[in-house]
């Protein structure tokens, strides 16, 4: 039964980068399990391997050794095409640099993941508008990214990550380019998506304050897990920006 409730499980996972014949090990013997609906922060200093781990868990890179099960299935059983399909359908990504296309509107940016979704085009506007509304950005629907503040850009990026209703949302330093007020709003949105809509969220951060919005903090150091602890708190829903 526990296996059915597990969305991500890795055993003895390692990663080695090879450059001009020189091997650089980055991750060592990583073992962890993330259940559906968890909000997990992976924390560590620069160079600890946390972004490499996110890339592997998000099918953006492959491990060198070890086993990775996604929804109980070993990812080695997937072809590259199948991995891309699962990533598009079941995973959403939020990055520090926003990665919005500058020449199109917020609405068009949010619709981008739907291009490869297999969902009929007639549904795209409705789905994108719902995602944009869920992050409180309806008033910026037809704005271009250059007309948005940093916090609004990240909220647009969250809406884009949400549009396919993914099972897992990966957030890589999502507050890194934001002031403290905007960063707080972004983290409260992620918390609400987890608590009210049940999205599994995996957050990469080096900031203790940001990590403590999660339910669980996994700390990495020099490519190894050095602690894995629960965080006790609750979200004040009245504090969320509508």
Please write the tens of the pLDDT for every residue from 1-27. 344 489 999 999 999 999 888 999 999
Give the pLDDT band (50/70/90) at residue 233.
Answer: low
Please give the mean pLDDT across all residues of the chain.
90
Sign of CA dihedral 55, 60, 63, 66: positive
Distance from C-alpha of 170 to C-alpha of 59, rounded to nearest angstrom: 11
Predicted structure pTM score: 0.89
Per-residue pLDDT tens over the stretch 22-41: 999 999 999 999 999 999 99
Mean pLDDT of 203-219: 92
What does 100-149 look like in DSSP terms, one character per residue? --TTS-HHHHHHGGGGGS---GGGHHHHHHHHHHHTT-GGGTT--GGGS-
Cα–Cα distance list, 236 to 157, 187, 197 (Å): 23, 12, 16
Mean pLDDT of 205-212: 90
% the chain with pLDDT above 70: 94
Distance from C-alpha of 185 to C-alpha of 183, rounded to nearest angstrom: 5
Q: What angle do CA 209, 215, 220 make, to 5 degrees?
A: 65
DSSP three-state, residue 228 = strand
């Amino acid at each position: 039964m526990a296996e059915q409730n597990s969305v991500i499980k890795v055993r003895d996972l390692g990663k080695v980068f090879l450059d001009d014949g020189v091997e650089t090990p980055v991750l060592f013997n990583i073992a962890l399990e993330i259940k559906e609906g968890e909000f997990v922060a992976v924390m560590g200093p620069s160079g600890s391997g946390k972004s490499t781990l996110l890339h592997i868990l998000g099918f953006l890179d492959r491990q060198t050794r070890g086993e990775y099960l996604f929804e109980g299935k070993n990812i080695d059983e997937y072809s590259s095409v199948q991995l891309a399909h699962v990533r598009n359908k079941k995973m959403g990504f939020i990055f520090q640099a926003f990665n919005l296309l500058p020449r199109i509107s917020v609405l068009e940016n949010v619709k981008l993941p739907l291009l490869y979704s297999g969902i009929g085009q007639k549904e795209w506007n409705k789905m994108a508008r719902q995602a944009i509304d869920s992050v409180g950005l309806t008033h910026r629907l037809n704005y271009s990214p250059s007309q948005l503040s940093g916090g609004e850009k990240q909220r647009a990026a969250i809406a884009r990550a949400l549009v396919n209703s993914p099972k897992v949302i990966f957030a890589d330093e999502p507050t890194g380019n934001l002031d403290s007020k905007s960063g707080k709003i972004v983290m409260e949105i992620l918390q609400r998506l987890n608590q009210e809509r049940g999205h599994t969220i995996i957050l990469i951060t080096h900031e203790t304050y940001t990590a403590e919005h999660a339910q669980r903090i996994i700390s990495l150091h020099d490519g190894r897990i050095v602690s894995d602890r629960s965080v006790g708190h609750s979200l004040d829903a009245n504090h969320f920006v509508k």
